[in-house]
């Protein structure tokens, strides 16, 4: 049994009370779905919702380590801005308890809302100069799909994760997740709202593990 898994983490994710350190690394590649033909609107990642499946286009995946990790205290505030009638960060992975701000960078009103079970909210209409910036705390794991009540084409995704260890792939599917504790865990790859792949991994301090999701 690896006792590192049961030692509380300090904010910098370093293990205390033991000689173990959170310095394991896992890297690899996820085989992503093919992108849709044609240019991306505003040269940003679109949210494609087809037959109940939500994903970015070009596709990207979120890699995260699942395990009995303590919840992060006061995770840093994230932002999901609106610019040129689109979400600047259309896919945003966050840890449970994260506050997300929704700054309006357009010269028009926005009204961001969600009916997702993991988070239901409605920010109401707000201007670009609105202060304080409208925000919500995401305290339940799950996928939250965002809409704008004024601009029906706008879509955004917030993936709320019950782990502090996650990273997004690049558009080629490559990833590197560092600062991990040693032990036996489940590594998952969220590809879209209907597809999450997983595999078990054994992580060792100071070692890099290759883990691919074909």
177, 167 Cβ separation under 8 angstroms: yes
Euclidean distance between CA atoms 207 and 210, whole angstroms:
10
Whether 82 is in a domain gets the answer: yes
Domain with 111 in it: what CATH number? 2.60.40.420
Nearest to 54 by CA among 87, 95, 101: 87
CA distance 34 to 186: 26
- Mean pLDDT split into 10-residue runs, the chain, 214 residues: 40 35 91 73 67 86 95 91 94 97 97 97 96 97 97 96 97 97 97 96 97 97
What is the model's pLDDT at position 38?
Answer: 53
Confirm if 97 and 137 have CB atoms less than 8 A apart: yes
| Domain that residue 98 falls in | 28-169+186-198
Q: Is position 152 within any domain? A: yes
Total domains, the chain? 1
**Would you say residue 144 lies in a domain?**
yes
In a domain, 122, yes or no: yes
Quickly count helices (H) and strands (E) in the chain.
Answer: 0, 19
Flag whether 203 is in a domain: no
Placement of tokens 């966050």 in the chain: 94
Q: Give the model's pLDDT for residue 18.
A: 34
Residue 212 lies in a domain: no
Distance CA 184, CA 1 (A): 9
User: What's the pLDDT score for residue 8?
Assistant: 39
214 inside domain: no
> Does a structural domain hold residue 146?
yes
């Amino acid at each position: 049994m690896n006792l590192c898994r049961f030692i509380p983490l300090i904010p910098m994710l370093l293990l205390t009370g033991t000689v173990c350190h959170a310095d394991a690394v896992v890297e690899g590649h996820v085989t992503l779905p093919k992108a849709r033909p044609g240019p991306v609107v505003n040269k940003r990642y679109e949210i494609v919702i087809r037959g109940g499946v939500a994903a970015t286009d070009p596709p990207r995946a979120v890699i995260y380590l699942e395990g009995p990790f303590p919840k992060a205290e006061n995770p840093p505030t994230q932002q999901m801005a609106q610019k040129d009638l689109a979400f600047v960060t259309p896919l945003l992975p966050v840890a449970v308890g994260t506050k997300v701000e929704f700054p309006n960078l357009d010269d028009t009103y926005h009204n961001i809302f969600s009916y997702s079970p993991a988070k239901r909210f409605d920010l109401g209409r707000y201007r670009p100069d609105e202060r304080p910036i409208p925000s919500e705390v995401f305290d339940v794991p799950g996928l939250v799909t965002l809409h704008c009540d004024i601009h029906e084409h706008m879509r955004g995704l917030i993936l709320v994760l019950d782990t502090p260890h996650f990273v997004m792939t690049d558009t080629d599917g490559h990833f590197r997740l560092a600062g991990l504790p040693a032990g036996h865990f489940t590594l998952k790859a969220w590809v879209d709202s209907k597809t999450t792949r997983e595999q078990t991994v054994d992580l060792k301090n100071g070692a890099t593990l290759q883990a691919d999701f074909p």
